[in-house]
């Protein structure tokens, strides 16, 4: 993965649909293909209540986010950390479109190249029972201390990306050539077009036509 910078991202939300549901936590890890170079995490006040079943799954309660920053308060850091990087997430459409929605509410647009580790894993590691993050964590024996929290899942996705890299010794030899050849094809290109006359981050993407529940089922 030469000359590429990856912004690996995970969010926790109040549900599966941007708009009615909102972000409750975000984590970003910058990875240059060799090592982690920066990271950021924060709870987010979703400005709506968190359903009990979501709290049971993530451990994030209404009390925890009551004093947390709202999305607009962390938006600048999100822009700066993802600028010029490939936006990576497990089931990338879920995370990307929630973040895209938040920027739309602020009157901004958000456009980044995207890489989905679900699609990449299906190609590089064929034949697995499931490509949910939980199953891949078990399959590859990735150490995770706090599942369904943003930073823990982000770090697990970093490890998954490393294993899919043609340079990692943990990737089977047969997968090396596959990974090297398919990685560019799995980048969903949406070139950034920042205006020199505006501080707005450039944005927008075509939303993949899947249901919110199908996104969540693969993500977890």
Which residues are designated catalytic?
A: 148
> In this structure, what DSSP letter does residue 70 have?
P
Dihedral Cα 27, 55, 156, 71, nearest 10 deg? -10
Name the DSSP class of 21.
B
* 95, 24, 211, 206 alpha-carbon torsion, rounded to 10°: -40
Token pair for residue 100? Answer: 């895209």
How far apart, in whole angstroms, are the C-alpha atoms of residue 29 and residue 8?
A: 5
Strand, coil or helix: what is 42?
Answer: strand
The tokens for 205 are 């993407």
Strand ranges in 59-217 using DSSP code E only, listed in sequence order: 86-89, 114-116, 187-188
Helix (H, G, I), strand (E, B) or coil at 20: coil
Closest CA to 111 of 190, 198, 7: 190
Sheet holding 23-31, edge to edge: 36-43, 23-31, 6-13, 86-89, 114-116, 187-188
């Amino acid at each position: 993965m030469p000359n590429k910078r990856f912004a690996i991202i995970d969010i926790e939300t109040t549900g599966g649909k941007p708009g009615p549901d909102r972000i409750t936590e975000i984590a970003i890890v910058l990875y240059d293909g060799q090592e982690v170079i920066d990271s950021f995490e924060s709870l987010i006040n979703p400005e709506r209540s968190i359903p009990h079943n979501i709290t049971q799954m993530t451990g994030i309660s209404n009390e925890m986010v009551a004093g947390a920053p709202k999305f607009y308060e962390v938006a600048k850091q999100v822009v700066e950390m993802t600028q010029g990087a490939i936006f990576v997430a497990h089931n990338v459409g879920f995370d990307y479109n929630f973040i895209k929605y938040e920027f739309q509410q602020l009157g901004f647009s958000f456009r980044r190249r995207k890489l989905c580790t679900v699609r990449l894993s299906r190609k590089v590691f064929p034949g697995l029972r499931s490509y949910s993050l939980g199953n891949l964590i078990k399959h590859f024996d990735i150490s995770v201390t706090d599942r369904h929290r943003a930073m823990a899942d982000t770090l697990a996705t970093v490890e998954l990306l490393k294993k899919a890299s043609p340079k990692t010794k943990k990737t089977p030899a047969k997968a090396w050539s596959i990974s090297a050849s398919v990685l560019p094809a799995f980048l969903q290109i949406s070139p950034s077009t920042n205006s020199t006359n505006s501080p707005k981050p450039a944005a927008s993407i075509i939303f993949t036509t899947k249901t919110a529940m199908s996104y969540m089922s693969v993500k977890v």
